[in-house]
Amino acid sequence: MKKIRLKNKQIDYPILIGSNIYKDIGLICKKYLEKNRVFIVCDNVVYDLYKKVLQNSFKKANIECIFIAITVSEKKKNIITVASLSSKIISHGVDRKDTIVAFGGGILGDIVGFTASIILRGLNYIQIPTTLLSQVDSSVGGKTGVNNIYGKNLLGSFYQPRLVVIDTNVLKTLPRRELLAGYAEIIKYGIIKDAKFFDWLQINGKKVIDGNTNARIYAIHRSCINKSQIVEADEKEHGARALLNLGHTFGHAIESLNNYKKDIIHGEAVSIGITIAAKLSYVEGYIDKKTYYKIENHFNDIGLQISLPKNLKKITAKKFVSEMIKDKKTVNKEITLILIEKLGKAFIHKKYSHSKLLKLFKEITS
DSSP for 202-252, please give it.
HHHHHHHHHT-HHHHHHHHHHHHHHHHHHHHH-TT-SSGGGGGGTTHHHHH
**Which span sits near its own copies by CB under 8 A: 90-98, 187-195, 222-230, 354-362?**
90-98
The separation between the first and the last C-alpha atoms of the chain, rounded to the nearest angstrom, is 50
For the CB of residue 118, give the shortest distance to its own copies in the complex, in Å: 5
> Of the two residues 112 and 272, which places its CB atom closer to its own copies in the complex?
112
**Rounded Cα distance, 8 and 279, in Å:** 35
The amino acid present at 58, given as its one-letter code, is F
In the complex, the smallest distance separating the C-beta of residue 342 from its own copies, rounded to whole angstroms, is 28
d(CA 39, CA 233): 31
Q: Are 106 and 137 in contact (CB under 8 A)?
A: yes
Q: How far is the CB of 35 from its own copies (least distance, A)?
A: 7
DSSP class of 334: B
Asked if 239 touches its own copies (CB under 8 A), the answer is no
> Could you say whether residue 175 binds its own copies (CB under 8 A)?
no
Piece in contact with its own copies (CB under 8 A), picked from 50-58, 141-149, 247-255, 285-293? 141-149
**Contact region with its own copies (CB under 8 A), list: 174-182, 189-197, 266-274, 329-337:** 329-337
| Binding status of residue 12 toward its own copies by CB under 8 A | no
Q: How far is the CB of 272 from its own copies (least distance, A)?
A: 24
Contact flag: residue 240 with its own copies (CB under 8 A): no
- 154 near its own copies, rule: CB under 8 A: yes
Burial 38-70 (b: 16+ CB within 10 A, else e): bbbbbbebbbeebbeebeebbeebebebebbbb
Please select the residue that binds its own copies; options are 66, 68, 69, 79, rule is CB under 8 A. 79
| Residue 59 Cβ vs its own copies, minimum distance, rounded to whole Å | 19
Helix (H) or strand (E) holding 88: helix 79-91
Q: If binding is defined by CB under 8 A, does position 318 make contact with its own copies? A: no
How far CA 120 is from CA of 89, 97, 215, 356, in Å, comes to 11, 10, 41, 47
Does 119 engage in binding with its own copies (CB under 8 A)?
yes
Quote the least distance from Cβ 132 to its own copies, whole Å: 24
Return the range that interacts with its own copies (CB under 8 A); candidates 57-65, 85-93, 173-181, 277-285. 85-93
Residue 119 near residue 90, CB atoms below 8 Å = yes
State the number of binding residues for its own copies (CB under 8 A). 40
Compute the least distance from the CB of residue 157 to its own copies, in Å. 6
Euclidean distance between CA atoms 36 and 355, whole angstroms: 58
Does the protein bind its own copies through residue 151 (CB under 8 A)? yes
Distance CA 344, CA 243 (A): 11
The residue count of the chain comes to: 366
Gyration radius (Cα) of the chain, Å: 20
The yes or no reply on residue 233 touching its own copies (CB under 8 A) is no
CB closer to its own copies out of 180 and 230? 230
Binds its own copies by CB under 8 A, chosen from 20, 62, 73, 87: 87
Q: Are strands 143-148 and 124-129 parallel, antiparallel or unpaired?
A: unpaired
CA distance 98 to 87: 15
Give whichever of 114 and 218 is closer to its own copies, judged by the CB atom: 114
Q: Looking at 74-82, 160-168, 177-185, 303-311, which segment touches its own copies (CB under 8 A)?
A: 74-82
The residues binding its own copies (CB under 8 A) are: 10, 35, 79-80, 82-83, 86-87, 90-91, 93, 95-97, 114, 117-122, 143, 145, 148-151, 154-158, 236, 325, 328-333
